[in-house]
Amino acid sequence: MNSFVSAAAIGAKAEAAVDIIRLSDVRRRFGETPALDGISLTVRKGEIFGIIGRSGAGKSTLIRCLNGLERADSGEIHIDGRDIAGLAEQELQPLRRRIGMIFQHFNLLSAKTVEENIALPLKIEGVAKPERLQRARELLDLVGLSDKAKAYPASLSGGQKQRVGIARALAARPALLLSDEATSALDPETTRSILSLLKDINRKLGLTVVLITHEMEVIRSIADRVAVIDAGRIVEEGQVWSVFGNPQTAITRSLLGSIRPQLPEHITARLSAETGSEAILSVDLAGPEAQGALFADLSAALPHSFRLVHGGIDHIQNQPVARFFIAVPARDPRLQDQVAQFLTARSARVEVLGYDTDHA
């Protein structure tokens, strides 16, 4: 076992119920604009927690409040058991060493070698050179760059630079790792490798990771829980499979549009709000019902009541999630209600999208 995998880290999973972050009614305004408007959430030790939202939703302000770079106007911000909201700058310094940061654009020093970049936080702390270089070598091994210790950032690919950034963030053995759009500048293949590395670090070290991102696939791939932020407020929160499989708010459904089945455009284009031969319904499911005999049961209960138009089943966190589009004959208004009631009773979220004007 590598020396940096401490006994405390091994035991971190056993402490998973303990909150490492707890925010209560956090508010921050810039002039008349509320950047954070009553944020309350908790992140447990050892989990990977995702925060998603559009640009300007408040994600960057939130992460700056978490590491003490931004001061909240009101509310409580507990990090690793301590309320940091009222701490003086001098008191914040030791706390910041408990928080590792990885950034979208790496923030490496071009004049320093890879190992010097990684060891820099330890140098600032006053750690002796042999010890900090030993730590740098351990971390280079962890992130798969053992042969790049003497290289300079200019010679590295984007993915390698981000691995160095991750290693540097881990140098001081933080209790919390914050990732601020860390994969946004990377291609899809490199993004997958970085996410796999973060998942591996979380598993090996028991390290809590908070991902701030607008990329839904990032959250889908590795997060345990997710919060959706919009206009400075948390509008939805829960297990990733549950939120992605059955989103409750319009903003969440919009954000997930790129990774969830969508009604084909040629059908959407001919939908009417009031007239048509068929009503088109979207059906969202998450959990066991998503791969059960739902539609067979529906056909048995209401023969000839629908046809499947589009959709599919995915698996997130080993849980099935599904989205289907079905067409229900519009000749009998009661039939549409009966179908919706049947599906809703089986934990589906059903929405009438419109009426197909062309289907015969």
Looking at CATH, the fold of the domain delimited by 261-356 is given as Alpha-Beta Plaits (3.30.70)
> What is residue 359's predicted lDDT score, i.e. its pLDDT?
64
Distance separating alpha carbons of residues 85 and 97, to the nearest angstrom:
17
- 19 beta partners: 44
- The CA-based angle 324-325-329, given to 5 degrees, is 140
What are the pLDDT digits (tens) for 107-149?
899 999 999 999 999 998 899 999 999 999 999 999 999 999 9
258 CB-contact burial (10 Å; exposed 0-12 / middle 13-18 / buried 19+): exposed
What are the pLDDT digits (tens) for 85-100?
878 888 888 888 889 9
The pTM for the full model equals 0.85
Q: Work out the number of other CB atoms within 10 angstroms of the CB of residue 157.
A: 11
What are the pLDDT digits (tens) for 29-76?
998 899 999 999 999 999 999 999 998 899 989 999 998 888 899 999
Q: Which two tokens stand for residue 90?
A: 């001098």
DSSP 249-316: SHHHHHHGGGTS----HHHHTTEESS--SEEEEEEEEESGGGGSSHHHHHHHHSTT--EEEEEEEEEE
Domain ranges of the chain: 7-254, 261-356
pLDDT beyond 80 at 17? no
Q: What is the mean pLDDT of residues 240-264?
A: 90
pLDDT beyond 90 at 78? yes
The answer to whether 307 touches 235, Cβ cutoff 8 Å, is no
Q: Which value, to the nearest 10 degrees, does the dihedral of the CA atoms of residues 9, 183, 51, 352 take?
A: -130
> What is residue 89's predicted lDDT score, i.e. its pLDDT?
82
pLDDT beyond 50 at 2? no
Percentage of the chain with pLDDT > 90?
A: 60
The answer to whether 151 touches 163, Cβ cutoff 8 Å, is no
pLDDT beyond 50 at 7? no
Q: How far is CA 37 from CA 66, 73, 214, 257, in A?
A: 15, 10, 19, 26
Lowest mean pLDDT among 44-48, 120-124, 303-307, 318-322: 303-307
Summary mean pLDDT of the chain: 88
Q: Which CATH class is domain 7-254?
A: alpha beta
Q: Which two tokens stand for residue 39?
A: 């944020």
Q: pLDDT class for 80, splitting at 50, 70, 90?
A: confident
DSSP 319-335: EEEEEEEEEEESSSHHH
